[in-house]
Amino acid sequence: MATARNKALRRQARKQSTLQALPWLAPALVLIVGVVIFPAGYMIYTSFRDLSRFGKDRGWAGLDNYVRVFGLDPLSTVLTNTVVWTVGVVLATVLVSLVLAQFLNKRFPGRKVLRMVIIVPWAASVVMTSTVFVYGLDPFYGIINRLLVDVGLIDEPYGFLKNATSGFLSAMAVAVFVSVPFTTFVVLSGLQTIPHDVLEAAAIDGAGKVQTYWRVVFPMLRPALAVAAIINIINVFNSLPILKTMTGSIPGNDADTTTTFMFKLIQNDRQIDTASALSVVNFAVIIVVIGVYLKVVKPMREVSA
């Protein structure tokens, strides 16, 4: 009887609090619904329309666009690339950031300056950063290429961005390069919220640096890290500028992710409607990816709860 009473009470309490939540969530909801939901709906709508090459709406298309998307030859290559791209970049970013944040959290002369330096790749627009890399990696007038030759790492300038494999890898490196600052700072500020006394307790319990890190610091960093990872997954998955500038001139789709592929569908193939369908598919894929991630990592589970 007690449990039945209990349940009924709890249900009632919960319903109440959802209503109570509304005023707190309202501003965010208004913005989201007002600015994102409409165009998103429009994107989905477009994916069911038949558009001319120039964008003129010629009526209902049913599932034609989707059929076409799944009939695209390079789709499997592109999907594989997308997975490699997202997983590779995010993992590398997180790893580098963890190390870097740890380093930046130490006290040493010049730390403040270093922190400011590290923010630069974040502050610079991604397009510009990749443009500089394109410029620097050019086999003819690229300064990075010259530097590599001058220090003897390579014998002659190499066309890093001239073939799919090395171009894709270079783009991944740049993607890591531009994602690291943000991730580092999230981790860094996460580190600040870890109570010092718990670290003392770990020291007393005989944990060395490494053990303290993995067993105490890291788990307590998890909420911050999980958020940083989510943001990175989404950003990296959706990242257009890096690949567009760096591998855009490489023929074929060997260096394309779904995002750049979609872009090429619009730009080169003038298939606006197919591209819309692809972007809906793209959206579905990222939702699945994030869903899996949430399921596995459970970032909403707070440390102390």
Q: Which residues inside 131-170 make contact with another protein, applying CB under 8 A?
A: 131-133, 135-136, 138-144, 146-147, 156-157, 159, 161-163, 167
Instruction: Please name the residues in contact with 254: beta carbons below 8 A apart, sequence gap of 6 or more.
Output: 77, 81, 164, 165, 168
Q: Which of 44, 55, 81 is CA-nearest to residue 278?
A: 44
Q: How far is the CB of 184 from another protein (least distance, A)?
A: 10
Measured from the CB atom, the residue of 30 and 63 that comes closer to another protein is 30
What is the C-alpha separation between 286 and 292, in angstroms, rounded? 10
Rule CB under 8 A: which of 56-85 touch another protein? 56-57
* DSSP output for 20-37: HHHHHHHHHHHHIIIIII
Residue 48 interacts with another protein (CB under 8 A): yes or no: no
292 touches another protein (CB under 8 A): no
Write each residue from 225 to 244 as x if it is in contact with another protein (CB under 8 A), else as -, in one continuous string. Answer: -xx--xx--x--xx-xx---
Interface residue with another protein among 1, 4, 28, 296 (CB under 8 A) is 28
Q: Is 47 left (phi over 0), alpha (psi -120 to 50) or beta?
A: alpha
Q: Which of 86, 259, 277, 281 binds another protein (CB under 8 A)?
A: 259
For the beta carbon of residue 125, count every other beta carbon within 10 angstroms: 10
Question: Per rule CB under 8 A, is residue 207 in the interface with another protein?
Answer: yes
Binding status of residue 88 toward another protein by CB under 8 A: no
For residues 22 and 3, what is the distance between their CA atoms, to the nearest angstrom?
Answer: 29
Which residue among 36, 63, 91, 292 contacts another protein (CB under 8 A)? 36
- Name the minimum Å distance from CB 80 to another protein: 18
Burial of 31 (0-12, 13-18, 19+ CB in 10 A): exposed
Nearest approach in angstroms of CB 152 to another protein is 16
Counting contacts by CB under 8 A, is residue 17 touching another protein?
Answer: yes
Token readout for 283 is 């959206």
> Which residue, among 126, 82, 121, has the nearest Cα to 245 in the 3D structure?
126
- Under DSSP, is residue 97 helix (H, G, I), strand (E, B) or coil? helix
Decide if residue 112 touches another protein (CB under 8 A). Answer: yes
Q: Which member of 75, 83, 169, 199 binds another protein (CB under 8 A)?
A: 199
Number of residues counted as binding another protein (CB under 8 A): 166
Q: In whole angstroms, how close is the CB of 76 to another protein at the nearest point?
A: 16
What values do phi and psi take at 139, rounded to 5? Answer: -65, -25
Q: Does 223 bind another protein (CB under 8 A)?
A: yes
CB of 240 to another protein, least distance (A): 6
